[in-house]
Amino acid sequence: MVTSRSSHRPVRGPVGQVEDLISSVKDYARQETVEPLRGAVRWVGVGTVAAVSLGMAFIYVSLGILRFSQDMGGTVLDGSWSFVHYFISLVVVAFLVVITFRRVSLRSLSKEP
């Protein structure tokens, strides 16, 4: 068996070199496409679960605030003033959304420090 002095691999014919080239291209393509896509799919999946959970939490919080304001308001805000309960819920949930969006930073979403 004859070996090349620079790479310590056996010298192969043109067919073997083409097979090596094809294998290298496949490995490179897998490394540069499939693996990052797996990471992106995982990242999107976790983000989707988090967004759905956060959305459900906002719904439950808004319903809780609405029910609380209706209970605490008594009969004072009944009739034509019943919209005040919904307005209170809207203001509180809007405040929570602002806090949530301020907590998400663009720096944490990028790979660069």
The region that residue 105 occupies, defined by phi over 0 for left and psi between -120 and 50 for alpha, beta otherwise, is: beta
Q: Which of 46, 45, 88 is nearest to 65 (CA)?
A: 88
Is pTM beyond 0.85 here? Answer: no
Task: Measure the CA–CA gap between 71 and 103, rounded to whole angstroms.
Answer: 32
Residue 34 domain-assigned (yes or no):
yes
pLDDT at 75: 81
Number of H helices, E strands in the chain: 4, 0
Number of domains the chain is built from: 1
Q: Which residue has the tokens 């919904």?
A: 86
52 domain-assigned:
yes
What residue numbers bound the domain in which 61 lies? 14-109
Segment-wise mean pLDDT, segments of 10 residues, the chain, 113 residues: 53 78 87 82 89 93 92 83 91 92 69 55
| H or E element, residue 64 | helix 35-73
Residue 1, in any domain of the structure: no
Q: Is 9 a member of any domain? A: no
Q: Return the pLDDT at 103.
A: 83
Say what the pLDDT of residue 1 is. 47
Rounded to whole angstroms, how far apart are CA atoms 3 and 9?
A: 6
